[in-house]
A and B are shown apart, each in its own frame.
Chain A
Amino acid sequence: MSDIAIELRGIDKSFGLVHANKNINLTVRKGTIHGIIGENGAGKSTLMSILYGFYQADKGDIIIDGKTVTIKDPNAAIASGIGMVHQHFMLVENFTVLENVMLGAEESQILNTSISKARVELKRLEKEYALEVNPDALIEQLPVGLQQRVEILKALYRKADILILDEPTGVLTPPEADHLFRILGQLKDQGKTIIFITHKLREIMAITDEVSVMRRGEMVATRKTKETSVEELAELMVGRRVLLRVEKGAANPGEVKLAVENLTVRDGRGVTMVDNVSFNLRAGEIVGIAGVAGNGQSELLEAISGIRRAVSGKVLLNGKPIDVTGHVDPRELRDRGLGHVPEDRHHVGLVLKFEEAENGILGYHHEKRFLNGVFLNTKAIQADAEEKIKKYDIRPPNPRLKTANFSGGNQQKIVLAREMERGPDVLIIGQPTRGVDVGAIEFIHKRIIEMRDQGMAVLLVSVELDEIRALSDRIIVMFAGGVVGERDPDATEGELGLLMAGVEGRKEAAE
């Protein structure tokens, strides 16, 4: 018995001209959590898809438990004891947990016998690994964290000894992520081997035993987690030194640019999502709104930016009211000096099928400088795009490329460039670095500070507490739709965490 679970030797894979994996070597020890880190597009997912039999490597060997194996499809991977939890869950939403777990691993042609066997086995797995979930619940009714648990159960049901998790925390709230880490710890204790793919350095430091770093299709280094640091890993990932802490001077707040008074917003079902929220935002300061996802931050942003109608309350932009309870035209708001970087760039911020240059003027396309009579002035649009590409280091530097073909970080830069370069008085930014690489995060943070220093008022919403603390001059914490407290950015993580969990805030609000 060797203590090596998986060994990859010289794995090579190309898709057309894209060389996704170049001569990859990797050794994963049994009973460990092995992190694989790299920026988006570094080839992590391709490598794991090869291991799971989704793609075939052009060259190279896969050795499992000391035996060279060919993994020609997911079936072969399952037979070799590999289970995978995909980034986008592979679940049938209107099936029950039980049906999802046994799909593809049914005992017999007739379901009844399979169901009862699966039920017994699921109970056993739940007990053994403390993975509780109601076997008869429909997937679509479960929160994301539990859906992920079903994915893990699916792998265990197929007797997986090696679990691959692809960006598992991307969709989770911080408490759900913590819970996942505890589960992974337990699985490790029970002797399972776990490969954990992420681009978040913190997670690597928190739970892995060893970490391998990928960059541009190559495996650049493997370290024992104990013997490395966030700084070293970031440098290996990006290929140059990265500043993880933004440097910023003191804020110099000016007059109130955005005033929100007693704003209340309900969702389609009539549930109050934003509850009587008031705050001021001044020129030259960054106000961060912290909170666990789903506590009303999204709805607040939507109401201020005119996408969602509020029930009551007032919003003043540059001292003049916005009709937030009636009809608001987002274009009018833009003309009045409000820039908006939406939380969801894929659905709200960009049209992915458009060219980069087209997305660069979206929402501002009616402005004279982009028009030639009733036609678009393509030359001016092109020139504008090229300028922004240079200034924001958008890669690849091709304004004619479809936006879908840019990486997450570069897509975000396209949106930021569009909204920032217009020079709005108030800029509201939702999740500025969600799904963005480390290198781009550094750039985006610097840009936001620069904008502040030029006198822009910035309202920042992020579920990443680190980001809020690094950028904000004041932090407002939201819980269950209401503001539960305001803190300085030097407040401790613990203090903010308690507010975010709604523990401290209720007392404060009651006083």
Chain B
Amino acid sequence: MDFFHTIIAILESTIRVSVPLIFAALAGLFTERAGVFDIGLEGKMLGAAFAAGAVAAVTGNVMMGLMAAVLISVLLSLVHGYASITQRGSQIVSGVAINFIVAGSTVILGEAWFRQGGRTPALSGDARFQTITLPFADAVRDVPFLGPIYSELLSGHFILTYVAFALVPFSWWVLYRTRFGLRLRAVGENPSAVDTAGISVIWLRYRAVICCGILCGFAGAYLSLAMSAGFVKGMTAGKGYIALAALIFAKWRPVNIMLACLLFGFLDALSIRLQGNPLPLIGQVPVQLMQALPYILTVILLAGFIGKAIPPKAGGVPYVKER
């Protein structure tokens, strides 16, 4: 029974750490499927986390924080869009630039405004997302097996967690069952086909980039308003890149993305759990190795296990009319 509870605990934390990955990877899905590669997921998430933490601290209202996160993230997306769609610049350079600018400016602004070494003030009460207890969670707690799964694993998460998982089928529906999705996927494969069909390639790609901004905003807000109580410098800690890896691992498909993010989240949760606990047969393992485990496995998975990932054909290439 103890083992069972350990499993439940690891899975529960898997869900918790997967949420920002899911938001960010879905964000990447929208823009990359439209042919705009985005290495700046990390920066947008970080900028959003800072905006959320700062605004929630000042206003004391979590919703204001969330809105600020989405706003900043969309603005950063538009910068990326302007550079790579309108000005036809390098999408990689633009993304990297955003990452650097955000990493530096969040610390500078945080220090200038709050003087806590780049942190935003700790949030509490209405300034932070609260966990939600699902109906009957307490009543069924003692039901063997299913009880703990419901009340501990599925219940007691933040609203954003449920939103993230609901966004998976929703994104699938948008991409594969709406006109917008059809055109978005088309523009990532062959923008000329879209252009000759009388649809604006530019506007379509901008809309995709805005979708990406909104979702990155959610990812950032989750980090500073739900998972932690405030912004800490560099708090994304490479999650944007892991999300990018999950996106490729999932071959740019929504449901696969959720599974990939859960896998990466699971590795993360496992490494936290195993820190300081001796492994059977192996004994004590250095903490650093445990912390590196998810990243090592990421490399192995990406290198060996996905087979041929075919990215959207027009990905990374600015659209220029022929001549």
Chain A 104-146 near chain B by CB (<8 Å), digits 1 or 0: 1110111110100000000000000000000000000000000
Does chain B have a CB within 8 A of A78?
A: yes
A105→B182 CA distance, assembly (Å): 11
Contact in complex: A103, B195 (CB < 8 Å): no
Contact in complex: A105, B197 (CB < 8 Å): yes
In the complex, residue of chain A having the shortest beta-carbon distance to the beta carbon of B198: A75
Chain B 151-179 near chain A by CB (<8 Å), digits 1 or 0: 00000000000000000000000001111
If over half of B's interface residues share one DSSP class (helix, strand or loop), that class is named, otherwise mixed; here it is helix
In the complex, residue of chain A having the shortest beta-carbon distance to the beta carbon of B177: A111
A108→B323 CA distance, assembly (Å): 33
Contact in complex: A91, B197 (CB < 8 Å): no
B-facing residues in A73-116 (Cβ within 8 Å)? 73-75, 77-78, 84, 86, 88, 90-95, 99-100, 103-106, 108-112, 114
Kindly specify which of B4-12, B183-191, B258-266, B280-288 makes contact with the partner chain.
B183-191
Contact in complex: B189, A104 (CB < 8 Å): no
If over half of A's interface residues share one DSSP class (helix, strand or loop), that class is named, otherwise mixed; here it is loop
Q: A443: which B residues are within 8 A, CB to CB?
A: none
Contact in complex: B178, A111 (CB < 8 Å): yes
Contact in complex: A90, B177 (CB < 8 Å): no
CB distance from B32 to the nearest CB of A (A): 15
- Given the interface pairs A90-B190, A103-B183, A106-B182, the reply to whether A84 lies near B177 with Cβ below 8 Å is no
A52→B180 CA distance, assembly (Å): 24
A92→B190 CA distance, assembly (Å): 6
Which residue, A15, A52, A90, A105, has most C-beta atoms of chain B within 10 A? A90
Q: A114: which B residues are within 8 A, CB to CB?
A: 179
Contact in complex: B183, A104 (CB < 8 Å): yes
CB distance from B63 to the nearest CB of A (A): 28
Contact in complex: A91, B193 (CB < 8 Å): yes
In the complex, residue of chain B having the shortest beta-carbon distance to the beta carbon of A108: B179
CB distance from B224 to the nearest CB of A (A): 35
Q: A154: which B residues are within 8 A, CB to CB?
A: 197
Contact in complex: A95, B323 (CB < 8 Å): no
B interface bracket (residues with beta carbon within 8 Å of A): 20 to 34
CB distance from B267 to the nearest CB of A (A): 31
Contact in complex: A104, B180 (CB < 8 Å): no
A253→B178 CA distance, assembly (Å): 68
A218→B216 CA distance, assembly (Å): 54
A106→B194 CA distance, assembly (Å): 12
- Given the interface pairs A74-B198, A95-B189, the reply to whether A103 lies near B182 with Cβ below 8 Å is yes
Contact in complex: A109, B180 (CB < 8 Å): yes
Contact in complex: B196, A90 (CB < 8 Å): yes
Does chain B have a CB within 8 A of A181?
A: no
A55→B182 CA distance, assembly (Å): 26
CB distance from A294 to the nearest CB of B (A): 24
Contact in complex: B178, A74 (CB < 8 Å): no
In the complex, residue of chain B having the shortest beta-carbon distance to the beta carbon of A101: B197
Does chain B have a CB within 8 A of A364?
A: no
Among candidates A74, A88, A94, A99, residue contacting B182 with C-beta atoms closer than 8 Å = A99
CB distance from A161 to the nearest CB of B (A): 17
A86→B321 CA distance, assembly (Å): 13
Which residue, B176, B194, B197, has most C-beta atoms of chain A within 10 A? B197
- Residues of chain A whose beta carbon lies under 8 Å from any beta carbon of chain B: 15, 52, 54-55, 73-75, 77-78, 84, 86, 88, 90-95, 99-100, 103-106, 108-112, 114, 154
